[in-house]
Amino acid sequence: MAKDSIVILDGARRTPRADILIKNREPGLFSRFSTTQLGGFAIGATLEHTKVDKGLVGHVVMGMAQHSHRDSIYAAKGMAWRGGLGKDVPALTVARICGSGAEAVAVGAEMILAGVRHDRERPFLVVGGAESMQYPLALYNVRGKALGGAVQKYGPAAASSLPKGTYLQDMLLMSLYDPSAGMAMANTAEELGRRYEISRDEADDFGFRSQTLAKKARDAGWFAEEIEPVRTQLDNAGEPMTVEHDTHIFDDVSRAKMGRLPAAFEPVGIVTAGNASAVVDAAAAMVIGRESDAAEHGATPLARIAGMGVAACDPKIMGWGPVPSTKKALASAGIRGDQIDQVELNEAFAPQALAVIRDFGDMGIDPDKVNPMGGAIAVGHPLGATGAILTLTCAYSLRRTKDRYGLVTMCIGGGQGISLVIESLS
């Protein structure tokens, strides 16, 4: 491995992952925060714990999958100033849908290695991702049409002025439908389930495993060092509260109850609310730089970025994307699958994850090393943030277990996969 490779510095932090709704009835704990605010929380906490002089940060690269708030267009730049960085620090928003957080890590590393736009006077980059899944309802085909007494150019449209029969579309549901595949994301998981002959019982067993392992990890305090608690207030009223843990982890998960949940997307399907990823809001950030710069400035490396890979596949089986991308990442790192000590695989849906794990076995990757602390079925999948969260989770876990190599990987809507191989330095 090259001596001057890219390292993740100790001190990376994330917010808890909070359900977009409480009991599917009330606004979630982070519903009052925009994506840029969540990203700002993560960046600010990371800079505080990393203890790198803010003046040494030359660029910010943050992932975000979808615009959800009025300030979302400013994305990474908004996160940067909210996180305490100066106005002279440029920022880039990257969007590779579910892989956006991992893409931000990759792009940041490539910017440093390429050197073309790298600021040698400010050698460190902040990278990560954020996502508020509080997506709005959208009204289309109104601009330029007469509403009330005027033609609508811009600005708010009064509900009373809208024509009869006008309806709003849910941006969250719209975003989860891929026209190239002709199906929603959950249906691509059902397709993988059919191709790999995965049963409903297998899918529910996997969902139960995820919840059980996540609860064990939370109760053991394994997530504590990576989480920065967030203070909030529900509906700007009542007593302020502190969110310290991922909120979707069940204390009373029951395999029997999970098995009674109805199929959610196809009449005889196997994907249910209990074996699919939870919809949550969250953000994560980390500081990266050359190993030599970390040494020069007295920063502590947590892990080295050893390999990266991105690949594409048939969008009808988009969840299979981590298989080809992992082959590329392993080749990039120059290691074999049986050298991987821990895998953080995003559990978009149980049948999707199970299909990938089966093919990982052919690469020599031990299935028991996949998601030892549970996954998105238990803790949630905040689209643009997930890749960054899994990266720092894997890095801290490798340090705790004194293992060497970790794989971070996820499928991407539209038929892609992205993978990072990291090497622990602690």
In a domain, 148, yes or no: no
pLDDT in tens, 329-340: 999 999 999 999
- Is 394 known to be catalytic? no
Q: Which amino acid is at 293?
A: D
Stated pTM of the model: 0.96
In a domain, 347, yes or no: yes
3: pLDDT confidence band, cut at 50, 70 and 90? low
- Residue 408: per-residue pLDDT: 98
In a domain, 251, yes or no: no
How many residues are there in the chain?
426
Averaged pLDDT for residues 10-22: 97
Range of the domain at 12: 6-135+277-421
**pLDDT higher than 50, residue 63:** yes
| Domains in the chain, number | 1
CA atoms within 13 A on the CB side of 414: 12
Identify the CA nearest to 423 among candidates 388, 391, 390.
391
In a domain, 252, yes or no: no
Q: Which CATH number belongs to the domain containing residue 347 in this structure?
A: 3.40.47.10
Give the pair of three-digit tokens for residue 45: 């906490």
Give the pair of three-digit tokens for residue 410: 């996820």
Q: Name every residue whose Cβ is closer than 8 Å to that of residue 180 and which is 6 or more positions away in sequence.
A: 315, 414, 415
Q: Is 371 helix (H, G, I), strand (E, B) or coil?
A: coil
- Residue 1: per-residue pLDDT: 42
In a domain, 194, yes or no: no
pLDDT in tens, 86-125: 999 999 999 999 999 999 999 999 999 999 989 999 999 9
Catalytic residue among 20, 43, 98, 365, which? Answer: 98
CA dihedral 47, 50, 51, 54 (to 10 degrees): -40
DSSP state of 148: T
Q: How far is CA 292 from CA 6, 106, 305, in A?
A: 9, 19, 14
**Cβ–Cβ < 8 Å for 45, 228:** yes
In a domain, 313, yes or no: yes
Beta strands in 76-225 (DSSP E): 91-94, 124-131, 137-138, 146-147, 150-151, 169-170, 177-178, 183-184
Catalytic residue among 7, 411, 421, 422, which? Answer: 411
In a domain, 369, yes or no: yes
Quickly tell me which residue has 């939370």 as its tokens: 218
- Is 313 known to be catalytic? no
In a domain, 259, yes or no: no
Averaged pLDDT for residues 211-235: 96
Give bridge partners of residue 309 from the DSSP assignment: 419
